[in-house]
Structure 1
């Protein structure tokens, strides 16, 4: 609880924490919005393929033009301004940057950037959960060997879940489940970019007036983003995914401890030690009372009667038996909070969650019946949704990771809800990604 005081000392010594940001989209913009208010945190460089878009983002979050007018990273480092570049490699090569924030959202680009940053001896804060679930365990392993930190991004839900998990374990309670809230009902599974706005209840006029990406919103709606994030949490905490994917059990605050416990004790989980989702919709679409749509939660069990009695005495939400309890955080502010990860990495040498083992995967699953020659369109598209399953099932089956399911051709027919495998597609490999994944498989926990 001393990051701010540690940073203040660094600032007083004239040694700010120096950051390079890759990607000035929504998440990156939120990081930049707060960075200007944190004394001692210096965004030295921003890499984005669309420089005009990056400038527009900076203006939108109230940066004065002179603050991002540096002509070089050296100038930016010396005078406290920021340099814009189209080439992320510039950030890796510049010695005056302590930490790279990867916020592109592109799984292959994110993997490539993280590898280069780690090789250059820089800490990495991986906003890009798509890259993390694809190669995060390998990246964490490489970072440890290099003596740098590879971290999830605080403010995003996976890191906040890891924080809650750490709290449970540090207190000596038995961890039973961890997860997040989400607006989901079974019909949402087959949403497409054409139908996604119907699930939000927005009119055509409202959609036209906003800056909305239908594929991005659809990845949240059809459960793909949930699968990606929960697989990442499993890889960071050692919890498991359910064998047939996330259950998306409807549950409000008052239900968490009763729902997210083993079936043997009256809950909805096959066993203890799982990640899952607290859906904010009933199967028929009704809104769940006291839902935690924007929040994260853990459920845990008292080790003995004395602790169980304390749960009741101090007002925890418990199940009817009093043995199982829940803790939650009702919100996450994504990029507005990510500076915590940067400061933890640079000042403490600690990640705010890190995928240190290959425990789970998010795999491409067909949204319908498709024939040979059809092309998959990746996360949030028309053809596939992601299922979070244990790596001990995904790896032997050669299941296709969702991060590799974009613009790839089927070479044989698949049926609705079938997990797609590498044998079903014409494999492309423009990053030696399969060699990296094979190396990662050596980190798989059975």
Structure 2
């Protein structure tokens, strides 16, 4: 999106900066703050929220932000922003109600907090950009519908696989090709990893062991691909996706897919473990146009019928400012559900569960997530992993068993559960 730098340069020249409210001061929040302050003209970190002031102070120290103020009231926030002073607060309501902000960016990764934040932002007519694929895969369709109704924007960002894949999908489709696979390249997969096995890796990269487990046990890729499916209308070829393993380059793996089956499904989301280039994303597409076929072969993309287009990386927080400009100046949607759920992430037992157990959070010891098509999930009453945290197990469950709503008692008072139920009712016609 090279158009973005032109818009940013114009904003810098006219001193009309995009004012960003950053929510969260973990490693990803720190990276975004550093990226905006040091390397993004025409944009400013207007205010950062965290419950932990020390974390924000560390973010500002890394970025070199020296002119800042800790604020507790909306009046203080607005006064400081008028003076060009970046702010820090422990009161999330200030960001929700500050009309000077162009948008909020959720960098927390928390399901419960992110649900409330996104809901409140939309209800108060605030644009919100999310870095939370787990939330979007669970209730993204209703959040998007609410945002459209409120006249604001909601999307997940570039930098993570869903946003990067949607960029590639749109690029390929705009050239007149037919995308049939949206793929994710994973370095490894072990469904039975847990926060203990991932503790050292997590410490090395400054992340929580639960987050590291979410990556390793396949849950994260399931959520990411569900986001893509809901944004494109693609399905999964089978429960859990095909999930092929190979150490070859994705250029050489188009033979793994049956083009007639792909077309019957309307395209699929999938992942390949161990392939090159990793980490990266790819789109397998086809065409019936003889002229295109001739010049794809000339361009070294092969003889088809599937052709590989790929990006050999995703760049985390480095790419988020691009998403911000696209949302604010171009009114462009990066990645959000086009309608109701197409693919869901359901709950699978990582260990034997006993009656009376409580399911822990995503990336924990007891469950992991796999994808299935939404019509099957609802027909079989399967439990979305995004609703499983804190649920009480009602009967013994064997390792590798898929959980249903009949197997657990969910906390039905949570906002995410209530929104999910509304989403189910709203889009039930799709089943």
Q: State the match for 2:269 in structure 1.
A: 275
Q: In the alignment, does 2:157 pair up with 1:179?
A: no
2:43 to 41, 44, 55: 41
Unmatched runs of 5 consecutive residues or more in structure 1: 198-203, 281-287
2:418 & 2:71 partners in 1: Cα distance? Answer: 39
Is the Cα–Cα contact under 8 Å of residues 174 and 301 in structure 1 kept in the other structure?
yes
1:416-435 equivalent positions in 2, closer than 5 A:
416-435=399-418
Task: Name the structure 1 match of 2:31.
Answer: 30
* Mapped partners of 1:92, 1:239: distance in 2: 34
Which of these residues, 352, 357, 377, is aligned with residue 374 of structure 1?
Answer: 357
The aligned residue for residue 107 of structure 1 is 111
Change in Cα spacing, 1:25 to 1:262, as seen in structure 2 (3 Å) is: same
Relative distance call for 1:422 and 1:87 in structure 2 (3 A) is farther
Would the aligned equivalents of 1:151 and 1:341 in 2 still touch at CA under 8 Å?
no
Aligned twin of 2:427: 443
Q: Which residue of 2 aligns with 1:240?
A: 235
In structure 2, relative to structure 1, the CA distance for the partners of 1:82 and 1:396 (3 Å cut) is: farther
Distance 1:136 1:207, change over 3 A: closer
Partner of 1:283: none
Given the superposition, is the C-alpha separation of residues 113 and 90 from structure 1 closer, same or farther in structure 2, using an over 3 Å criterion?
same
CA drift at 1:220 = 0.7
Task: Name the count of aligned residue pairs.
Answer: 422
Whole-Å separation in 2 of the counterparts to 1:383 and 1:102: 27
2:293 corresponds to which of 308, 327, 339: 308
Q: Residue 277 of structure 2 is aligned with which of 280, 284, 292?
A: 292
In structure 1, the partner of 2:372 is 389
Alpha-carbon distance in structure 1 between the residues aligned to 2:397 and 2:23 = 37
Report the Cα distance in structure 2 between the residues aligned to 1:378 and 1:235, rounded to whole angstroms. 23
The structural deviation recorded for 1:301 is 0.9
Out of 394, 398, 403, the residue aligned to residue 411 of structure 1 is 394
Q: Quick one: structure 1 residues 207 and 166, their matched pair in 2 at CA, closer, same or farther if it must change by over 3 Å?
A: closer
Check the 8 A contact 2:12/2:41 in 1, yes or no.
yes
For the aligned residue pairs, the C-alpha RMSD in angstroms reads 2.3
Residues 404-413 or 358-367, more deviating: 404-413
Structure 1 residues 239 and 396 mapped into 2: Cα distance closer, same or farther (>3 Å)?
same
Rounded Cα–Cα distance in structure 2 between residues aligned with 1:235 and 1:208: 33
Shift of 1:73: 1.8
- In the alignment, what sits opposite 1:330? 312
The alpha-carbon deviation at position 365 of structure 1 amounts to: 0.7
Structure 2 unmatched ranges of 5 or more: none
Q: 2:169, 2:298 → 1: CA distance?
A: 22
Asked if the contact 1:44–1:83 (Cα under 8 Å) also holds between the matched residues in 2, the reply is yes
Query: d(CA) in 2 for partners of 1:329 and 1:43?
Result: 29
Distance 1:403 1:254, change over 3 A: closer
Judged with a 3 Å threshold, the aligned counterparts in structure 2 of structure 1 residues 58 and 247 are, in CA distance, closer, same or farther, namely: farther
Contact conserved, 2:202 with 2:208, CA < 8 A, in 1? no
- The answer to which of 72-81 and 117-126 deviates more is 72-81
349, 364, 367: which is aligned to 2:347? 364
Q: Which residue pairs with 2:326 in the alignment?
A: 344
TM-score (norm 2): 0.91
Secondary structure of the 2:379 match is coil
